[in-house]
């Protein structure tokens, strides 16, 4: 098939020379993209209202080469962000962080920050559902770890303990998130098992 300008439309076969090397579940999408697709699916079904939190940015300088092409040239973060996602599911407040690592054997705790732990502790203390989604890209596996489990590793690190969580420990102390076509990161399936 050709486009109106005469160029050929790329076929699926041309886009990937070796489809066996592609992962069915990830297909080049990042964890954030997968969660956003999942959240939109939940919203479309009226199952949950969960959104990515915007990062608060203060714009300092804008370049206007043309009226229709403004470019932000200088900006800074107004404040440290808390977690990536929040919203409501079955009358409960849901709040979580999403991280992916290319490390095959561990998840570095350097990916988490003090203010995020403090925020997550507040959510748990007030009865919200709080967790972290960890994707090991080389294993093509995504896990749901309860915030309370994360806290144990965090405070161990602060007492000169391990600065990471091993893949094996994540696997044993977290929940593998099932993949489905529309709900790519179906974390509500885990929440249903744990809370409802």
84 annotated binding-site participant: yes
Q: How far apart are CA 53 and CA 29, in angstroms?
A: 19
22 annotated binding-site participant: no
Q: How far apart are CA 150 and CA 164, in angstroms?
A: 11
149 annotated binding-site participant: no
96 neighbors 85 (Cβ within 8 angstroms): yes
Q: How far apart are CA 167 and CA 65, in angstroms?
A: 49
Q: How far apart are CA 85 and CA 94, in angstroms?
A: 8
121 annotated binding-site participant: no
Identify the H or E element spanning 20.
none
Q: Nearest CA to 123 among 150, 155, 147, 107?
A: 147
Residues annotated within a binding site: 82, 84, 97, 116
Binding residue numbers for Mg(2+): 82, 84, 97, 116
């Amino acid at each position: 098939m050709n486009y109106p300008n005469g160029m050929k439309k790329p076929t699926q076969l041309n886009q990937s020379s070796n489809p066996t090397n592609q992962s069915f579940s990830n297909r080049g999408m990042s964890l954030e993209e997968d969660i956003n697709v999942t959240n939109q699916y939940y919203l479309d079904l009226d199952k949950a209202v969960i959104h990515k939190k915007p990062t608060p940015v203060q714009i300092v300088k804008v370049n206007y080469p043309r009226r229709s092409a403004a470019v932000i040239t200088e900006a800074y973060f107004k404040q440290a962000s808390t977690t990536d996602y929040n919203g409501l599911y079955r009358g409960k407040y849901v709040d979580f962080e999403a991280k992916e690592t290319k490390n095959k054997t561990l998840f570095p705790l350097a990916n988490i920050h003090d203010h995020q732990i403090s925020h997550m502790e507040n959510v748990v203390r007030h009865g919200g559902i709080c967790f972290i989604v960890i994707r090991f890209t080389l294993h093509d596996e995504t896990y749901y770890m309860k915030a309370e489990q994360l806290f144990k590793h965090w405070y161990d690190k602060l007492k000169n303990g391990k600065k990471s969580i091993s893949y094996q420990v994540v696997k044993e102390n977290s929940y593998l998130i099932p993949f489905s076509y529309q709900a790519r990161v179906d974390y509500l399936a885990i929440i249903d098992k744990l809370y409802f």
